[in-house]
Amino acid sequence: MENAGSLSIIKSGLLDTIRDKGRLGFRSVGIPVNGVMDSSAYFIANLLVGNAEKEACIEMAFPPAHIRFNNNLFFALAGANFDAHINNLPIQSGKCYQAKEGDILTFKKQVSGNFIYLSVAGGFLIDDVLASKTTNLKSGFGGWHGRKLMKGDTLVGKPSSFKPNTKIYVDYAHTRHTHSFIRCITGPEFHLLSAQQQNALFDFNFSIDKQSDTMAYRINGDKIFQHEISMVSSGVSMGTIQLLPDGNIMALMSDHQTTGGYPRVLQIIQQDIRMLAQYPYQKTFQVKRISLQEAIAVEEEDNLNRNNIARAYLKMVG
Amino acid sequence: MRLSQSDYQLIPVYEYGLLINFNIQFSDPAYIQQIKFEIEKKFKSVSIDFVPAYHSLTIHLLPPHVVTTIIMDIDSILRDFEWNEIEKEKALLNIPVCFADAFASDKKRICDLLHKDWATITKELTQQTFTVYMLGFLPGFAYMGMLPETLKLPRLESPRKKVAAGSVAIADLQTGIYPTDSPGGWNIIGRTPIPMFDLKNEQPTLLHVGNSVRYVEITEDEFYVIQNKPMQWKTQVA
């Protein structure tokens, strides 16, 4: 048994939870996916320590917890830049590090992004609930006792014989926002908007409201969309943009419900959901309409890129 | 009964999602369930979730299988689809509900808006047999209908911050039971001691789409007895 160790939370963070690809296969009985906010960063975090793609990581918002490594342990960070330090030395996202017993991981400031992923080689020893280790905070199950991590929690790693290469840096541009627009396809209720409102969606400047959380990002526009559109509840997904009765819009994020009763006017493409998840609050962006075919082309290229990155990394590690 | 092309629309909702919107008002969710089973059977290996709702079915695919790869096949399944006769005699679930003041947070509002006394209202409610049309909002939250027009009420103007688990609620022509403590905007009429969502069970939710449900009135004393031993309550009646 190599590299099996543990880490402890020595100071609670704002919102640190165990997350994996999500609880899949239960949406028909109202059980949400509760996956990660930024699936690219999550993918990189697991890759760097040689984990399977669906291994659980810790997803952290700012300010994250302070973490003590109780044993020597390979770990990696990916996603937001929170100016991470091991003891008093700065460390980088996108690289694998070996923590020594007693090392303290802290995060000094929110430089960019909103969510960072911490992976450990082998993953965490946590029971599956309904085939997933991810946390459902709202109903209080899965992950670490169904709650966010708090001071005093000790997470044990699973044994791993992976020998990471701590010199390789893996960059994945999509884990950082690179443009000031999000690409969307139209949603099922888009056609119920007036022509003027449809155009406004692509003309307005938007920004993420401070009242946002992992269930939904509330989005402020130049004006509200007055409407009297009603619909019966129906399935929704991450990145669905709904029009609320008060005329505001919101984008559903990782902890969204399985169904919704608000008009689905737009749907963000997968790549830009991740970008929006990491997008700075109050910085403006625009919505750009693209076709389903274009959205699929972007996604397929993304999948290809990920596979290439994974192959190249594993080859270098040997 | 067969579907015609104008009875449904196929809408790709995202790279990995397809929405089937039905233009027909189904009298029974069993119609959508039959379609769901048929599609599930054929696409199990490339899909993750099938989410039925009142007039729709959403299919979530397993990446990297994108929506454009299944849309033609789904269309041909629907075009050739023929329903089996819907069973009239379905298993009925009896849910015990206590309408005591302690559990009926909106008693006064409900009586005022409906201009009726409490006994009349609860009697009307317990005489109905409901159908589970969909689950959503929370794990195990079943949208049931339909209430008689005489019990139709609007939602609260602003949702409550916390509704207790087990609370039985009504809104518009629907009724539902909150499986866990949560915010909620429906009118609270009573509470059940039976858990709606329990991870210890192989099926974590008590209710499923297509179930028939009745509310059975219990006293406050009975409420606590059943709460202590929920397994002794016979929910299912043949």
pLDDT at A1: 44
The nearest CA of chain A is from the CA of B11 a distance in Å of 7
Bond preceding residue A63 cis, omega within 30 of 0: yes
* Domains of chain B as residue ranges with CATH: 5-79 (3.30.1360.40), 92-237 (2.40.100.10)
Distance (Å) of CA A25 to CA A284, B20, B40, B63: 36, 18, 12, 14
Give the DSSP letter of residue B78: H
Are B138 and A138 inside 8 Å of each other by CB?
yes
CA of A301: which chain B residue's CA is closest? Answer: B64
Distance (Å) of CA B15 to CA A44, A211, A298, B41: 22, 28, 10, 21
What digits encode the pLDDT tens for the residues A38-57? 999 999 999 999 999 999 99
* DSSP assignment string, A251-283: EE-TT--SEE-S-EEEEE-HHHHHHHHTPPTT-
SS3 call for B191: strand
Distance CA A204, CA A219 (A): 11
Distance CA A55, CA B182 (A): 30
The nearest CA of chain B is from the CA of A225 a distance in Å of 20
pLDDT tier, A173 (very low <50, low <70, confident <90, very high otherwise): low
- Best of A24, A26, A28, A293 to disrupt the B interface (most B CBs within 10 Å) is A28
Residues A105, A69 contacting (CB under 8 angstroms): yes
pLDDT at B238: 56
The nearest CA of chain A is from the CA of B117 a distance in Å of 31
Are A259 and B51 inside 8 Å of each other by CB?
yes
Mean pLDDT of A274-291: 95
Distance CA B163, CA A88 (A): 47
The nearest CA of chain B is from the CA of A309 a distance in Å of 16
> Which two structure tokens, joined as six digits, stand for A317?
């590690």
CA of A22: which chain B residue's CA is closest? Answer: B48
Distance CA A186, CA A267 (A): 6
pLDDT tier, A230 (very low <50, low <70, confident <90, very high otherwise): confident
Residues B141, B176 contacting (CB under 8 angstroms): yes
CA of B183: which chain A residue's CA is closest? Answer: A138
pLDDT at A33: 98
The nearest CA of chain A is from the CA of B119 a distance in Å of 31
Phi first, then psi, for residue A307 (nearest 5°) are -60, -40
What digits encode the pLDDT tens for the residues B147-203? 999 999 999 988 899 999 999 999 999 999 999 999 999 999 999 999 999 999 989
- Residue A299 with chain B: CB contacts under 8 Å: 15, 66
Are A30 and B138 inside 8 Å of each other by CB?
yes
pLDDT at B89: 66
pLDDT over threshold 50, residue A28: yes
Residues B54, B23 contacting (CB under 8 angstroms): no
- Best of B9, B10, B15, B25 to disrupt the A interface (most A CBs within 10 Å) is B15
CA of A142: which chain B residue's CA is closest? Answer: B199
Helix (H) or strand (E) holding B236: strand B236-237
How much of chain B, in percent, has pLDDT values that exceed 90?
Answer: 83
pLDDT at A171: 79
Distance CA A216, CA B87 (A): 40
- At residue A6, what is the residue type? S
* DSSP assignment string, A183-206: EEEEPTTGGGS-HHHHHHHHHS-B
- Best of A20, A135, A259, A265 to disrupt the B interface (most B CBs within 10 Å) is A259
Residues B121, B106 contacting (CB under 8 angstroms): no
* Cα-based angle A219, A223, A229 (whole degrees, multiple of 5): 80
- Range with the poorest average pLDDT among A166-180, A252-266, B49-63: A166-180
Are A188 and B67 inside 8 Å of each other by CB?
no
Mean pLDDT of A20-48: 97
CA of B47: which chain A residue's CA is closest? Answer: A25
Residues A112, A155 contacting (CB under 8 angstroms): no
Q: In angstroms, how far apart are the furthest CA atoms of chain B? A: 57
Phi first, then psi, for residue A315 (nearest 5°) are -70, -45
pLDDT at B26: 82
How much of chain A, in percent, has pLDDT values that exceed 90?
Answer: 89
> Which two structure tokens, joined as six digits, stand for B142?
């079943």
Distance CA B194, CA B201 (A): 13
Q: Which residues of B touch A (CB under 8 A)?
A: 11-17, 19, 21, 48-58, 60, 63-64, 66-68, 134-141, 143, 179-180, 182, 197, 199, 204-205, 208-209
Choose the closest CB to A30 out of B14, B48, B140: B140
The nearest CA of chain B is from the CA of A68 a distance in Å of 32
Q: The complex's ipTM?
A: 0.96
> Please, how many CA atoms are within 13 Å of residue B12, restricted to the half-sphere of its CB?
21
Are A296 and B138 inside 8 Å of each other by CB?
no
Distance CA A18, CA A126 (A): 9
pLDDT at A177: 61
Cβ-count burial A147-156 (b if 16+ within 10 Å, e if not): bbbeeebebe
* Domains of chain A as residue ranges with CATH: 6-175 (no CATH), 181-297 (2.40.100.10)
pLDDT over threshold 60, residue B141: yes
Choose the closest CB to A269 out of B11, B15, B140: B15
pLDDT over threshold 90, residue A80: yes
> Please, how many CA atoms are within 13 Å of residue B33, restricted to the half-sphere of its CB?
18
